[in-house]
Amino acid sequence: MKDEISREERVAGLKGLGCSRKRVEDARFTQGKGNYVDDIKLPGMLHGDFVRSPYAHARIKSINIDAAMALPGVTAVLTAKDLEPLGLHWMPTLAGDKQMVLADGKVLFQGQEVAFVVASDRYVAADAVELVEVDYEELEVIVDPFKSLQSDVVLREDLVADDGSIPNGAHGPRKHPNHIFTWEAGEEEATNQVIDNAAVVAEAEMYYHRTHPCPLETCGSVASMDKVNGKLTLWGTFQAPHVVRTVASLLSGIEEHNIRVVSPDIGGGFGNKVGVYPGYICSIVASIVTGVPVKWVEDRMENLMSTAFARDYWMKGKISATKEGKITGLHCHVTADHGAFDACADPTKFPAGFMNICTGSYDIPVAYLGVDGVYTNKAPGGVSYRCSFRVTEAVYFIERMIEVLAIELNMDPAELRSINFIKKEQFPYTAALGWEYDSGDYQTAWDKALKAVDYKGLRAEQAERVEAFKRGETRKVMGIGLSFFTEIVGAGPVKNCDILGMGMFDSCEIRIHPTGSAVARLGTISQGQGHATTFAQILATEIGLSAESITIEEGDTDTAPYGLGTYGSRSTPVAGAAAAMAGRKIRAKAQMIAAYLLEVHDNDVEFDVDRFVVKGVPERFKTMKEIAYAAYNQAIPGLEPGLEAVSYYDPPNMTYPFGAYVCVMDIDVDTGVPEIRRFYALDDCGTRINPMVIEGQIHGGLTEALAVALGQEIAYDDMGNVKTATLMDFFLPTAWEVPNYETDFTVTPSPHHPIGAKGVGESPHVGGVPCFSNAVQDAFRPFGNRHTNMPHDHWRIWQTANNLGMHD
């Protein structure tokens, strides 16, 4: 039989790897047909709302619920006392600490959950919240982590023994009642020696301020306890539904098969929805107590005040180099403000995430990192927000250190980077702080970026502008922000990455139907990334069925195979690999079926796009559709019927995407307003599954980077009041502030990933923040600036100019 369609057409028909396939999920999102937690409405469902503390630190003397209970429509008001008999007044955090579900004796941050009101509707619940009378005795508030370590005020009384001694925490000895852990990597003595004897040393102290992921949809859950059948169903905004099921089982004692956790559509996660929040627990308890479903959905202020924050790292660095600019050593100390409970979502062995990738993209022979975690009267959480487990902090740190060293050396920062890049032939490269970088070609990417923006031309223009400014001809200065980042994503090998003891593999299960369409389920969960589109593309190329005929399902623990979820840009590196491996198992069976149908030996057929062909006889073939049909309808000797496969994938290493970013900015020194003239972003995420989705990821991540660098923050006053808990004060960029991004790429496949893909979701944020910040700082470099802290909002930029005497 002669095939009418060309091979190219067959490849295109698959809409597989490398195709800018339109996102299949957008049909429902753009028509308002998504199904989010708040869309779930069950018969008889009640609504919960929290009484929250107005104080950052206070003892609770009494709680009176009488008036609230008297309000028509109120069913229950839960306090810690009600949860205590169930052992649920405290819950374990992902970081090995524990956290109050409802205030137990005291409150430790503004907005902390004190009581949970359950009522017939959300409005009645909110009214009842106002009627709960809580008698507080204010205590001294500590919002500064350095003061916290000196203070006599003990924040966590539960973590001090009766004799006053300080028991070890989850990560070893603690130096002070308000100290959480010390975590170290590298060699301190050797590093100090190198730095002490170096020709050039640059030092900097920088604060990576506290901010918040602020997804469009806030966090929420609906719990439904079916007492007759003993089944608990929990819908929620979960980035890791299987982990939630396991934790819910361990906490409640309900057997895991009797719990079904469902993450429906999620309106953005950005790390905000990895942790476990009191609202989830309270909705479960309330459903058990009342016997009907209970919904809890937080509002915007609650989201900003009480759910996982991001950053809050005080970083102190020293970097040494030869006179020629070859870096010889790096020392970094971090004081990490974790708030009232250590609820960071990190792999267990990494209490400061992957901060020990702070040597960046550079070949630095010796380095040391020390991190001290500290309790303060702020909201718990941490690590979330497009950061790849603190890689954003690490990259910000090293990319600022490079700039400061360039100032010290009086050298061009682009050239300083070139001198120190890990070279292509050095991969796999083991860094001084322990990571083995799988692959990279930094110089090629850097050269491409610098050429694309005409870097030399920009520098010449900048020099002219400085002169013009000094002559009084302009009030605008020009900054060229550079950043070169290396990411580490795809946690992770089970041998060193787990969350609460659960190894961080991921999974894919695929079932081909007789007519040659398929359903595949994965242990991850999209929050907007487009997995339904892109995972189908991986499978299409692997098994030769069109992506259009493959349904992707995630997020229902009753159907999806166990997986660790979506965060840390791990879905492509881990679940994407599982998908490819499951696809290959399908193909292996299909090969045997094809050989049988074609009456040749297994080895005499080969895979070709969407079919198996007899080697050397291309006109003799069986398409995957024909093979699928045969799998269900023919008795094939030695083979079971059906065509299904499952893969649980434990990656041998993480993947190391990288990128080169350049930002050109003009700043009006009298208003402090920056104008982004150009933003060029080159990303290398290895094999590209869907270029359009990648581009969308980069636009989104850069916009969040712009936000963080130029204004977004969760700020506290000395009394622990959150000053930025509404969108009036918390900066969310709009089309007004966002520039036109120019995207570009190189492709350096991961050598160990089955299709060579690396993650990309967090890269633009990780690389973008230092790039925007460096642009601001670079504009002021000719006028004496070394380092100023983010966020560079108009007021702070104005101040920078003022401090440099530019308003005189």
Question: Mind telling me the catalytic residues?
Answer: 239, 386-387, 762
The C-alpha atoms of residue 763 and residue 483 are separated, in whole angstroms, by 12
- In the bound state with ligand PCD, the residue whose beta carbon lies nearer, of 129 and 654, is 654
- In the bound state with ligand PCD, the residue whose beta carbon lies nearer, of 174 and 311, is 311
Asked, as a colleague might, if the bond just before 791 is cis with ω within 30 of 0, I would say: yes
The helix/strand count (H/E) of the chain reads as 20, 32
Residue 698 CA to its chain's centroid (Å): 14
- Smallest separation, CB 494 to ligand PCD (Å): 17
CA atoms within 13 A on the CB side of 725: 18
Q: Please, which residues have CB within 8 angstroms of residue 169's CB and are 6 or more apart in sequence?
A: 96, 97, 159, 180, 181, 342
- In the bound state with ligand PCD, the residue whose beta carbon lies nearer, of 387 and 643, is 387
- Smallest separation, CB 144 to ligand PCD (Å): 26
- Smallest separation, CB 192 to ligand PCD (Å): 33
Question: Distance of CA 478 to CAs 458, 466, 665, 781, 808, Å?
Answer: 9, 8, 6, 10, 19
Contact between 113 and 306 under an 8 Å Cβ cutoff? The reply is yes
- In the bound state with ligand PCD, the residue whose beta carbon lies nearer, of 318 and 531, is 531
- Smallest separation, CB 739 to ligand PCD (Å): 19
- Tell me the two tokens of residue 405: 């060293």
Instruction: List residues near ligand PCD by CB under 6 A.
Output: 239, 268-271, 384-387, 527-531, 534, 566-572, 685-690, 693-694, 697, 700, 757-762
Instruction: Report the SS3 class of residue 715.
Output: coil
Asked, as a colleague might, if the bond just before 492 is cis with ω within 30 of 0, I would say: yes
The C-alpha atoms of residue 559 and residue 134 are separated, in whole angstroms, by 44
- Smallest separation, CB 506 to ligand PCD (Å): 10
The C-alpha atoms of residue 635 and residue 630 are separated, in whole angstroms, by 8
Name the residue among 123, 91, 97, 96 with its Cα closest to residue 279.
91
- Smallest separation, CB 353 to ligand PCD (Å): 10
- In the bound state with ligand PCD, the residue whose beta carbon lies nearer, of 411 and 519, is 519
- Smallest separation, CB 382 to ligand PCD (Å): 11
- Smallest separation, CB 762 to ligand PCD (Å): 5
- Smallest separation, CB 497 to ligand PCD (Å): 13
- In the bound state with ligand PCD, the residue whose beta carbon lies nearer, of 347 and 516, is 347
- Smallest separation, CB 707 to ligand PCD (Å): 13
Contact between 355 and 390 under an 8 Å Cβ cutoff? The reply is yes
State the sign of the Cα–Cα–Cα–Cα dihedral 625, 628, 629, 630. Answer: positive
Instruction: Report the SS3 class of residue 42.
Output: coil
How many residues make up the chain in this entry? 808
The C-alpha atoms of residue 802 and residue 238 are separated, in whole angstroms, by 46
- In the bound state with ligand PCD, the residue whose beta carbon lies nearer, of 574 and 676, is 574
- In the bound state with ligand PCD, the residue whose beta carbon lies nearer, of 83 and 540, is 540
The C-alpha atoms of residue 69 and residue 76 are separated, in whole angstroms, by 7
- In the bound state with ligand PCD, the residue whose beta carbon lies nearer, of 119 and 708, is 708
DSSP 710: H
Alpha helices by DSSP H, 50-133 = 66-70, 80-83, 122-131
Name the strand (E) or helix (H) holding 520.
Answer: strand 518-522
At residue 597, what is the residue type?
Answer: L
- Tell me the two tokens of residue 344: 């960071």
- In the bound state with ligand PCD, the residue whose beta carbon lies nearer, of 462 and 529, is 529
Name the residue among 651, 686, 770, 754 with its Cα closest to residue 347.
651
- Smallest separation, CB 130 to ligand PCD (Å): 33
The C-alpha atoms of residue 493 and residue 62 are separated, in whole angstroms, by 48
- Tell me the two tokens of residue 502: 């659960």
Q: Please, which residues have CB within 8 angstroms of residue 6's CB and are 6 or more apart in sequence?
A: none
- In the bound state with ligand PCD, the residue whose beta carbon lies nearer, of 409 and 693, is 693
At residue 384, what is the residue type?
Answer: S
The C-alpha atoms of residue 195 and residue 197 are separated, in whole angstroms, by 5
Beta strands in 303-398 (DSSP E): 310-321, 327-339, 366-375
- Smallest separation, CB 142 to ligand PCD (Å): 27
- Tell me the two tokens of residue 151: 């203070």
Provide the b/e sequence for 520-542 (b: ≥16 CB within 10 Å).
Answer: bbbbbbbbbbbbbbbbbbbbbbb
Q: At CA 280, angle to CA 222 and CA 391, rounded to 5?
A: 120
The C-alpha atoms of residue 184 and residue 733 are separated, in whole angstroms, by 36
- Tell me the two tokens of residue 173: 């000895």
Contact between 702 and 485 under an 8 Å Cβ cutoff? The reply is no
- Tell me the two tokens of residue 730: 């918390």
At residue 170, what is the residue type?
Answer: A
- In the bound state with ligand PCD, the residue whose beta carbon lies nearer, of 201 and 262, is 262
- In the bound state with ligand PCD, the residue whose beta carbon lies nearer, of 178 and 703, is 703
The C-alpha atoms of residue 487 and residue 243 are separated, in whole angstroms, by 25
- Smallest separation, CB 524 to ligand PCD (Å): 6
